[in-house]
Structure 1
Amino acid sequence: MIKLTPILLAILYGIAMYRFSAWRTAKELDQKSIELADPMLKVMTDQMAKALDLPKIRVHIYEIKPVNGLAAPDGRIFITRGFYNKFRAGEVSAAEMASVIAHELGHVALGHSRRRMIDFSGQNALRTALAMIIGRFLPGVGIWVAGMITSLLAARLSRADEYEADAYAAALLSKAGIGVGPQISLFEKLEALTQQGGAPMPAWLLSHPKTADRIAALRALETKWVTKT
């Protein structure tokens, strides 16, 4: 029982972190978001809602500057103010914005958004347990090794989720009559959009697959669908 104590403590820590993270995320989004009310984007979301047999797709603007999209654990979809400003400035088209919304809908539909919160808490628990265990054999470097292992696992899971959400978005956009083209064109300009002004690439983009690989995967899907028809 004594040997299991670090693991049990780590599990309890993970549960506590999950509950706290979910509460903090919901509170942050409630305080810093408003519902998106843009007539051009509504045309796009209405097309996707019809394809999904839904009355409406509700999207919110998250009042932060970085260019990003977000699927909250409770299923809400967010576009950052920074991303929306790019659209208003003409740097991103309505169809390209629709591809972001479709991608985030994919995260919700496939259970990624809720699982990511659980994974985040689990990673913290795993990191704590590994640090305790490895630290017994490698004093002084246990924390570093544990952090490296959990970071590699997290990155691999995140990249797999992104490919799945991309495929979901491609299917939805095609069914809605918008097509995969805007999804690809946005990827081609996304890194430039996020790095304008010399700002560093956001962490969420670093944990994603390479843009060229995502585009190649979408083109392969598009070719497969055309061949079948």
Structure 2
Amino acid sequence: MDKNQQAIQLMKEQKYEEAASLFNEMIEANPQDPIGYINFGNLLLHVNDAERAERFYERAIELDHNAATAYYGLGNMHYEKQNYKKAQENLLKAIEIGLEEADAYYLLGMSFFHQEKYRLALPYLMRAAELKPDDTDYLFQYGLSLAQSEHINDAKPLFQQVLEQDDNHSDAHYNLGVIALYEEDLSTALDHFNQALEIQPEHMLAANAKKQIMEVWNNTDM
């Protein structure tokens, strides 16, 4: 196991000072190699030192303009800071260079999503879900972007797939309830809202939707 692998393993074991020491040795031994700077940046970001992490990522890019993982690190950093425009720019650059990682596509899609650019988010969230089909977060957010883009019929099977993988996903139940309302199927909608509330009693959106259905039914009975 080389020093880089040792340091990454130490990070996984939360031995951050030891990992930092090894990354520092790598940089001192090979100051023109961007890998050491990128990994040190990852470590700094992991311990919430974004300001220093940014400097290490930028140094890596100075050494190698095609250092895709450095752009990914910057994108991840800006995403965590909710600076979605900057996150978008760096993540897009990482993917353009050739980074084919589900996390990169997901964060890029979510950067567009948080800017309410749902249609722009779609291809990246779709690719993330293709690369990690068992990740319910990726499937759910792809479905949500489809729904926000008014592709209701395409969103529905994705929410159903989320529930096949995790039957305690309250937001998937809620969104299927909303789709059932759109389809004018109040009984199915109510069932999904009830299941969402059973899983998450404080789910206010499901509670409000259920209340509206009950008011409609009560008024109809009158």
Give the structure with the larger helix fraction: 2
Query: Which protein shows a greater Rg?
Result: 2
| TM-score, normalised via structure 1 length | 0.30
| TM-score, normalised via structure 2 length | 0.31
